[in-house]
Amino acid sequence: MKTVPLVVTGFGNVGRAFFSLMREKKEDLKRRYGLALDVLAVAQAEGCFYSGGPLEVRQISQGGEPWTSGNPSWRAEMKVADIIEETGPGGCLVECTLSNLETGEPGLSYITGAFHGGWHAVAASKGALVVGFPALKALAAEKGVFLKLSGATAAALPTLDVGLFSLAGARIEGIQGILNGTTNYILTRMGEGLDYAEALQEAQARGIAEPDPAHDVDGWDTASKILIITNACLDADYGLKDVQVRGIAGVSVDFVQSARREGRSVKLLATASPKRQAGKWSLDVRPSLIEATHPLANVNGTEKGITFLTDSMGSVTVTGGRSNPRGAAAALLKDIINIYRPAF
């Protein structure tokens, strides 16, 4: 049995879902992979939950909310880097803080600190990867640790596992994706007759869209994902400024419904395609009309999908995957398993 020390940064929807999934899968992880996961600390902005041993969720939260005042496991001002240093190399940081696409923080500092301490990192947050993926990748290589990004790149839908491993040896000649469940849900419901405002309201009422949906509906979540996937798969260094982004707020119900009557559909499609100049790619996110024969045409509701066009393996499409915190937690868990599982 291998015991894996973990530090979870951020205890919001995904951090909490990760805790409950770990508890649910505890015996399975031991039996199938010989892994025991011990969360040594959970970091919030003002400090860490830390008790000197593996933490249980009851030491972190009460009534589902983080419990700091009067909690013997709450250490205000305690730093993640100190816990990593004290534990020694070989653990894994589980990055679940907010995605700040301008500064990359706080994830950038957490991941960098983990690498300097000889720890691997798995990320659900996108900020650090949007701002500094090439540098993080280089640092991980220098320190001999893994950086895994499934949680940040459409989570339960395998995107990088396909692009980096399943397509090894093939040349990727284009990528297309429906990478955001919220906007796909809204467009699907518009195809069924709701107008934009009604579909958004329904998505919010069902907990699919955030109270402030701008990040999703304006296309930036999709843009971040296609950027990270492209940089990782092509070993490139594009920035968010290189992505042309148009969201779905201006899409009319008439447009979506007339497309549907013609057997087509409107999707917020992310595209990475080679430009005419050698070695340059264009990255684009926009509401797009797609034919019924397109491999992503039947990706509806909160589902997502990705198509890779390759030179030697043809077109490869993956669809599905849960779009919620539990799906994101499952993607983090998958990455941890794949870092530590015995080779076969």
Ligand X SMILES: NC(=O)c1ccc[n+]([C@@H]2O[C@H](COP(=O)([O-])OP(=O)(O)OC[C@H]3O[C@@H](n4cnc5c(N)ncnc54)[C@H](OP(=O)(O)O)[C@@H]3O)[C@@H](O)[C@H]2O)c1
Residue 47 engages ligand X in binding (rule: CB under 6 A) = no
Smallest distance from ligand X to CB 165, Å: 20
Using DSSP bridges, classify how beta strands 243-245 and 172-178 pair: parallel, antiparallel or unpaired.
unpaired
Closer by beta carbon to ligand X, 247 or else 325: 325
CA distances from 288 to 59, 176, 217, 246 (A): 48, 11, 14, 10
Q: Nearest approach, Cβ of 248 to ligand X (angstroms)?
A: 18
Residue 214: both structure tokens together: 């701008």
Active site residue: 148, 225, 304, 334, which one? 225
Which of 9, 87, 176, 230 is the binder for ligand X (CB under 6 A)? Answer: 9
Task: Write the CA distances from 193 to 48, 61, 98, 188, 199, integer angstroms.
Answer: 48, 42, 34, 9, 9
Angle (deg, nearest 10), helices 107-116 and 80-87: 20
Compute the least distance from the CB of residue 163 to ligand X, in Å: 18
230 forms part of the interface with ligand X (CB under 6 A): no
Answer whether 269's CB lies under 8 Å from 149's CB.
Answer: no
CA distance 104 to 160: 20
* 71 part of the interface to ligand X, by CB under 6 A: no
User: Using CB under 6 A, which of 8, 37, 96, 309 touches ligand X?
Assistant: 96
Given 13, 71, 204, 319, the residue binding ligand X (CB under 6 A): 13
Q: Give the count of residues interacting with ligand X (CB under 6 A).
A: 23
Applying CB under 6 A, the span of 92-100, 237-245, 263-271, 275-283 interacting with ligand X comes to 92-100
Q: How far is the CB of 179 from ligand X (least distance, A)?
A: 11
Q: Does 126 bind ligand X (CB under 6 A)?
A: yes
Burial of 245 (0-12, 13-18, 19+ CB in 10 A): middle
Q: Which residues contact 212 (CB under 8 A, 6 or more apart)?
A: none
| Region 137-176 residues binding ligand X, contact defined as CB under 6 A | 151, 155
Q: Largest Cα–Cα distance in the chain? A: 63
Among 5, 11, 129, 223, binds ligand X (CB under 6 A): 11
Segment contacting ligand X (CB under 6 A): 71-79, 119-127, 292-300, 311-319? 119-127
Active site residue 26: no
Find the binder of ligand X among 8, 44, 61, 150 (CB under 6 A). Answer: 44
CB neighbours of 119 closer than 8 A, spacing ≥ 6? 7, 84, 89, 90, 91, 92, 93, 145
Minimum CB distance to ligand X smaller for 213 or for 325: 325
Preceding omega of 295 cis (within 30 degrees of 0): no
Question: Is residue 124 close enough to count as binding ligand X by CB under 6 A?
Answer: yes
Restricting to residues 183-212, which ones interact with ligand X according to CB under 6 A?
none
Which element (helix H / strand E) includes 259?
helix 253-261
Q: Could you say whether residue 43 binds ligand X (CB under 6 A)?
A: yes
What residues line the site for ligand X (CB under 6 A)? 9-15, 43-45, 96-99, 106, 124-126, 151, 155, 324-325, 328
Residues classed as catalytic: 225
